[in-house]
Amino acid sequence: MATNPLISQIAGLTGLDPEWVNRRLNKELSARGLDSQDVDMATLRTVLAELVQEVLLSAKQELKTQPERFADL
């Protein structure tokens, strides 16, 4: 499957690997019983927003527990 432009944009904004975003997206859609080929843009945006929120919350928690990992930022 070619990378959706929205996936590329999310990956670029977050610094995440587009292939990872694509795999996670497909996993999430599959868990919801949806086919990545037939999903509408609103659903795609919602699922991608949830993935980004999950990544940001994880990074926030990691920043609290392991601040030394982010010393160079």
Which of 59, 35, 58 has the alpha carbon at shortest distance from 47? 35
Q: Is the pLDDT assigned to residue 2 strictly greater than 60?
A: no
Total number of domains in the chain: 1
SS3 content of the chain, % helix, strand, coil (to 5): 75, 0, 25
Q: Tell me the average pLDDT of the chain.
A: 83
Q: How far is CA 14 from CA 10, 27, 32, in A?
A: 6, 19, 24
Task: Give the pLDDT score at 26.
Answer: 87
pTM of the model: 0.66
54 lies in which domain range? 5-70
Q: pLDDT per residue over 21-43, tens digit each?
A: 888 888 988 998 988 777 888 88
**CA–CA separation, 32 and 12 (whole Å):** 25
Supply the DSSP string of 34-52, one letter for each residue: --TTT--HHHHHHHHHHHH
